[in-house]
Amino acid sequence: MTRLFTLSLFLVLLTLPRSLLAMEAIDELSFYGRANLSLNRIDLEAGNGTQLQDNWELRSNTSVLGLRGSQVVQPGLRAVFQLEYEVFVDDGDDGNGGSSEFNQRNSYLGLEGKWGRLIAGKHDTPLKMVQGKIDRFNDLLLGDLRSVMQGENRPDNIVIYRSPVRDNWQWRAALIPGEDNGTSDPAHDDLSNAVSASFEYKRDDTRFAIAHERGETIDTDVDYITRAAFEHNESDFSLGAIVQLAELVGGGDEKSLLLSGEMPLQGRYFGKAQIAL
């Protein structure tokens, strides 16, 4: 006997007016992009002294193309979307064993109003987003925060709620269904096989945020992560710090710290410094 049960939520389709479904002009629509190339001299060794890489390399550093827009559904309710892709302008190689000029980044469909914002798709987790602009070399090969910290995740099939700002506070919460077919053991087939949440306080030029994340469907070797971030910006300097504790699957933990700073130089030039442990 075969039994099929399907629960579908057509939230957006039920609320969008016929005019929008007929692809009439969208209220707000913008096309954006960025090309970033660098010529790098790379000398990389393993902890035991083994040479891993020693060469010159032309590299595309998170060059992107994107399209975002929104449409008023009814007074106080707006539909929003974004489609963003990384493009590899150096050689068309995504670096993951394939050869593709496009790699999906934050892409979503959702609704927003005075009550907040709800989106679904592929997107950075709330824990990743608390870094703000603290990771000042996040587009570079070895300068990226992910070189020393877990948690830099952009999972598929994520649903994120962002609250409105009240008394300088804002919070985000996300759930990620595992989407396994339910026949494996353990079965990652629940609505929230992974969750991520953050709280942020911002006043004037100072921001503090804390986030927590758990679930092996995001990082297969991490059970949970707790991250705290601090950022302060002035006209003549910016400072930031991130501290993190990651509990590893099977026992053990990983403690990380990042400190960064930035100051304007002449004209449009800036000086940046960053250290991570």
Q: Determine how many CB atoms are found less than 10 A away from the CB of residue 17.
A: 13
pLDDT tens-digit map of 153-204: 999 999 999 999 999 999 999 999 876 655 565 556 667 688 999 999 999 9
Among 138-147, 223-232, 267-276, which stretch is predicted with the lowest mean pLDDT? 138-147
24-28, 96-100, 180-184: which is most confident: 24-28
Mean pLDDT of the chain: 85
Annotate the chain with three-state secondary structure.
Answer: CCCCCCCCCCHHHHHCCHHHHCCCCCCEEEEEEECCEEEEEEEEECCCCCEEEEEEEEEECCEEEEEEEEEEEECCEEEEEEEEEEECCCCCCCCCCCCCCEEECCEEEEEEECCEEEEEEECCCHHHHCCCCCCCCCCCCCCCHHHCCCCCCCCCCEEEEECCCECCEEEEEEEECCCCCCCCCCCCCCCCCEEEEEEEEEECCEEEEEEEEECCCCCCCEEEEEEEEEEEECCCCEEEEEEEEEEECCCCEEEEEEEEEEEECCCCCEEEEEEEC
**Greatest Cα pair distance in the chain:** 75
Q: What are phi and psi of 14, to 5 degrees?
A: -75, -25
Q: Scan for tokens 């004037």, then name that residue.
A: 204
pLDDT at 188: 63
Q: Which residues contact 57 (CB under 8 A, 6 or more apart)?
A: 39, 40, 42
Q: What is the pLDDT of residue 185?
A: 53
In whole angstroms, give the CA distance from residue 153 to residue 204: 29
pLDDT in tens, 144-163: 888 889 889 999 999 999 99
Q: Note whether 137 and 150 are within 8 A (CB).
A: no
Contact 152, 213 (CB under 8 A): no
pLDDT digits (tens, 9 = 90+) for 205-254: 999 999 999 986 676 678 899 999 999 999 899 999 999 999 988 888 99
Mean pLDDT of 11-36: 65
pLDDT, residue 157, reads 92
* Residues linked to residue 60 through DSSP beta bridges, in sequence order: 37
Tell me if the pTM is above 0.75: yes
> Which pLDDT does position 95 carry in this prediction?
65
Q: pLDDT band at residue 85, thresholds of 50, 70 and 90?
A: very high
**Cβ contact 118:215 at 8 Å:** no
pLDDT for 97: 60
